[in-house]
């Protein structure tokens, strides 16, 4: 039964009573969790993390039919399924890429099987940029990936009525992003329609953004984006994810997006 490399704890916080703990990784050692293989019959593997400092600490315990009184009881019904975990990862923003580039090769691997890639700059970039900053370029002829895409990981003139010419142009912009990444051997399984679509309602927002209501986002997918994605090899199988915003907006998005007609 393979052993894991345990956490090397480090405490942080403004005061010692905070007792916040992280696991330290460097070029010579990093904690990891070995795949579950060779579990003996009649045994179960238990992982425990705690405020006291345990981080995915693994133990092998016997499976027993005996019932002991416990403070907490968890009832598991294997016949009832809910959401499934498809992976773990993070966002490869420009700042994440810059920091990864500053590390030595042995310290860069963390075992992600999913990453989130921004389309152009975000509030974690050193400067604002898009892939088509030419005013009036409705067909995206000036579209080009930038150095940040190759090294680390819409245009501000888009506006107009829902599903008008600018919306069609924005759909082309998104398609070009996936086409260009595909040319470089990177394919995607899904896309969120926009990061924090409600932020565009704030006139004082200090970074580039765009506003979508739940109905606007729904209609954009139904009338323009969805049909255009379906006819392109780079996007035809993409899963589209709505909202991608603060959870207080979830009920409204769920209500309006589910009303597809």
Q: For residue range 89-102, list pLDDT tens digits in order.
A: 888 889 988 888 88
Distance (Å, whole) CA 141 – CA 234: 18
Distance (Å, whole) CA 122 – CA 90: 15
Contacts of the segment 37-41: beta carbons below 8 A, 24+ positions apart:
37/2, 38/1, 38/2, 39/1, 40/1
Whether pLDDT at 65 is above 90 = no
Domains of the chain, each with CATH number or no CATH: 9-62 (no CATH), 120-258 (3.20.20.80)
pLDDT attached to residue 35: 79
256 — pLDDT class (breaks 50, 70, 90): confident
Average pLDDT over every residue of 157-176: 79
Whether pLDDT at 55 is above 90 = no
Whether pLDDT at 159 is above 60 = no
Whether pLDDT at 178 is above 80 = yes
Least confident of 24-28, 211-215, 228-232: 24-28
pLDDT attached to residue 156: 46
Average pLDDT over every residue of 123-130: 87
pLDDT attached to residue 2: 58
- pTM for the model: 0.69
Distance (Å, whole) CA 241 – CA 250: 12
pLDDT attached to residue 155: 44
């Amino acid at each position: 039964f393979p052993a894991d490399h345990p956490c090397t704890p480090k405490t942080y916080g403004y005061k010692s009573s905070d007792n916040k703990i992280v696991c330290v990784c460097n070029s010579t050692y990093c904690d990891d969790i070995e795949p579950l293989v060779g579990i003996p019959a009649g045994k179960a593997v238990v992982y425990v993390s705690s405020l006291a400092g345990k981080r995915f600490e693994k133990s092998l315990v016997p499976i027993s039919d005996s019932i002991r009184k416990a403070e907490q009881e968890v009832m598991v019904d294997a016949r009832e399924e809910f959401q499934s975990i498809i992976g773990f990862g993070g966002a490869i923003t420009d700042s994440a890429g810059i920091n990864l580039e500053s590390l030595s090769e042995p310290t860069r691997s963390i075992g992600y099987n999913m990453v989130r890639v921004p389309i152009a700059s975000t509030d974690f970039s050193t400067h604002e940029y898009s892939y088509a900053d030419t005013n009036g370029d409705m067909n995206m002829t000036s579209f080009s990936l930038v150095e940040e895409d190759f090294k680390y990981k819409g245009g501000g003139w888009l506006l107009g009525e829902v599903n008008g010419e600018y919306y069609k142009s924005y759909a082309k912009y998104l398609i070009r992003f996936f086409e260009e990444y595909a040319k470089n051997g990177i394919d995607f399984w899904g896309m969120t329609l926009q990061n924090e679509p409600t932020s565009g309602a704030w006139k004082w927002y200090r970074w580039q953004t765009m506003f979508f209501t739940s109905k606007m986002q729904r209609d954009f997918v139904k009338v323009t984006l969805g049909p255009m994605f379906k006819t392109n090899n780079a996007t035809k199988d993409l899963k589209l994810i709505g909202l991608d915003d603060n959870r207080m907006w979830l009920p409204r998005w769920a209500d309006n997006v589910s009303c597809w007609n």
